[in-house]
Amino acid sequence: MSNFKLKNKAFKIAFEISPLMTASGTFGDKSGVYRYTYGLISSLSSFLKKKDKNATIFLFTFNYDLLKQPLNPELYSLLKNKNVIYLNKLPNINQENMIYNDLFDFPPLRIILKLADKIFNIKSFYKQIINRFRFNNYLKILDKEFKKNSIKTIVHSETSFYPLNNYRNIITIYDLTAFIVPEFHRNETIDLQTRKLKFARKYCQDIICISQSTKRDLLKYSPEFKNKNIIIAYPGIDDSFKSNKETKKSTLIQTTNIVSNRRITLIPNKYLLYYGTFEPRKNLSYLVKGFLELLETKKIPENYKLLMIGGKGWGNIRNRIIEYLRENYPNDEKSPIIIVNYINDKYLKKIIKNAYALVYPSFYEGFGLPVLESMYLGTPVITSANSSLTEVGGSAPLYVDPNNFLDIKNKISYLIKNKTIASTMAKDGIVQSQKFSWEKTAKKLYDFI
């Protein structure tokens, strides 16, 4: 068990929020990490209002430059809570004179320095030293702020973590896909995750895992994690999905197809849905190929569409799909596949509720929020029988083998042809989704700390 205990009666905790500060939030560019971090802080704030009125949540960033940027509207909304404080009013960091630049003002040295810089990259090296100096100064300022506010517990973020002595260091592990399926990740992602797990192993007393599947993978990755305190803290449903939970309406859905930048109209219950980042791990090539083959062989009605929503991600997946559609469907109104950029949650909710089914054939997930959100909104789900997805979906979804193209294609056809089964799956999904809530997670985290 951890040797760290809260010395003060009041519950105080600090969250590193760089992933929240680098996204606009309101416009829909919310990664799973964004949704989890925001949901965890928001739900903990609500729980503390009832449980401990003297408790305080502090928000901060290890990236000093992010303090200069305006916060997104969702973060402003979070800061309206009296028990949430943003540590942004920090003293300016004293910066020494840029001696290197001053030397360039002397003509005799200018030519020599320019030549040396070309050969040895002196300017870049000098900037690295200055940045390290600034960062160390900023850490000292943060440390003083933490001590002044009697903060003893720090929750580090996915992208920004740093060992601070004499604190209870906690970090969230979302998944280990960078090591389980490294072929689906960029080198920089693998490098970041390697450094993060090294940090967790060496400096964190406690670990938050977002699923049992992630915890199992973590313990397999290194036996050292058996000596850590590990909590399973599931995501819940975002408040934006909960509001006005009406039944499906037979209204037309309009959205903008980025293939042609034109408005497209969708008929409710006549389109399949995928939403999330476009990346190799999501198995979108099988989804697209399977859907098009079903249309070509007339195994599903010709008026069905596939709507795909999300950022371009990496691996050139989205661009390749767009290029294919432009080449094969010059008249985009006849295109069976529609690609849409990020959209806000209010409209996303409407799109999910009116979809015939969510199809999410991912090769591996740490949790799979689209599966939970779709079940909650009464939309049937086709997803992969692997990782955390069976843990989240229970018996509600129709499961596929993501490596089996024919299985994915046949399950899509089967569900479209069997509307009664789809209706039963929708009801089962609503029941299954009730097992997950931010309220439960907030209480669990509070008790854990």
**3 state DSSP class of 417:** helix
Residue range 197-254, pLDDT digits in tens: 999 999 999 999 999 999 999 999 999 999 999 999 999 999 888 875 554 555 678 8
Rounded (to 5) percent helix, strand, coil in the chain: 50, 15, 35
Rg of the chain over all Cα atoms, to the nearest angstrom: 25
Closest residue by Cα to residue 437 from 236, 209, 212, 232: 236
Whether residue 198 is contained in a domain is answered as: yes
Query: Residue 4 falls within a domain, yes or no?
Result: no
CA 199 to each of CA 5, 56, 164, 205, 327: distance values in angstroms, whole numbers, following the listed order: 21, 26, 11, 11, 47
Residues 205 and 253 in one domain: no
Q: Report DSSP state, residue 72.
A: P
Query: Is 203 within a domain?
Result: yes
What is the residue whose two structure tokens read 């601070």?
A: 164
Q: Which of 367, 329, 361 is nearest to 233 (CA)?
A: 367
50 residue type, one letter: K
Residue 112 resides in a domain: no
Domain contains 115: no
Q: Looking at the structure, do residues 231 and 346 belong to the same domain, yes or no?
A: no
Regarding whether 225 and 268 lie in a shared domain, the answer is no
Residues 203 and 243 in one domain: no
Helix axes 419-433, 369-376, angle to 10 degrees: 110
Contact 365, 389 (CB under 8 A): yes
- Whether the Cβ atoms of residue 155 and residue 172 lie closer than 8 Å to each other: yes
Whether residue 253 is found in the same domain as residue 191 = no
351, part of any domain: yes
Residue 279 lies in a domain: yes
415 in the same domain as 444: no
352, 275: one domain = yes
Q: For residue 418, what are its two tokens?
A: 């069997």
Q: CATH number of the domain that 25 lies in?
A: 3.40.50.2000
Which residues are CB-contacts of 328 (< 8 A; sequence separation ≥ 6)?
Answer: none
Regarding whether 250 and 225 lie in a shared domain, the answer is: no
Phi and psi of 240, rounded to 5°? Answer: -65, -25
Q: Based on the fold, state whether residues 265 and 172 are members of the same structural domain.
A: no
pLDDT per residue, tens digit, the chain (449 aa), is 344 444 446 899 999 999 999 887 666 678 889 999 999 999 999 999 999 999 999 999 999 889 988 888 889 999 999 999 999 987 676 554 444 455 455 566 666 666 666 666 656 666 677 778 888 889 999 999 999 999 999 999 999 999 999 999 999 999 999 999 999 999 999 999 999 999 999 999 999 999 999 999 999 999 999 999 999 999 999 988 887 555 455 567 888 788 777 788 899 999 999 999 999 999 999 999 999 999 999 999 999 999 999 988 889 999 999 999 999 988 777 889 999 998 888 899 999 999 999 999 999 999 999 999 999 999 999 999 999 999 999 999 999 999 999 999 999 999 999 999 999 999 999 999 999 999 999 999 999 99
Q: Is residue 444 part of a domain?
A: yes
Cα maximum dimension of the chain? 85
Residue 143 CA to residue 168 CA, distance in Å, equals: 13
Q: Which domain holds residue 280?
A: 239-435
Is the CB of residue 57 less than 8 Å from the CB of residue 446? no
Question: Positive or negative, the Cα torsion across 381, 401, 306, 299?
Answer: negative
Please indicate, yes or no, whether residues 130 and 196 belong to a single structural domain of this protein: yes
- Point out which residues pair with 171 in neighbouring strands: 156, 207
CA dihedral 64, 67, 69, 72 (to 10 degrees): 130
Q: Which two tokens stand for residue 60?
A: 């901060």
3-state secondary structure of 165: coil
Instruction: Note whether 133 and 27 are same-domain residues.
Output: yes
The number of beta carbons lying within 10 Å of the beta carbon of residue 312 is 17
Question: Do 57 and 13 contact (CB within 8 A), yes or no?
Answer: yes
- State both tokens at 256: 């903008």
Are residues 33 and 75 part of one domain? yes
Q: Which residues pair with 12 in a beta bridge?
A: 56
Number of structural domains the chain divides into: 2
Whose tokens are 């951890």? That residue is 2
> Which burial class, exposed, middle or buried, applies to 1 when counting CB atoms under 10 A from its CB (0-12, 13-18, 19+)?
exposed
- At residue 433, what is the residue type? S
Q: Is 409 helix (H, G, I), strand (E, B) or coil?
A: helix
109 vs 57, 100, 103, CA distance in Å?
Answer: 52, 11, 7
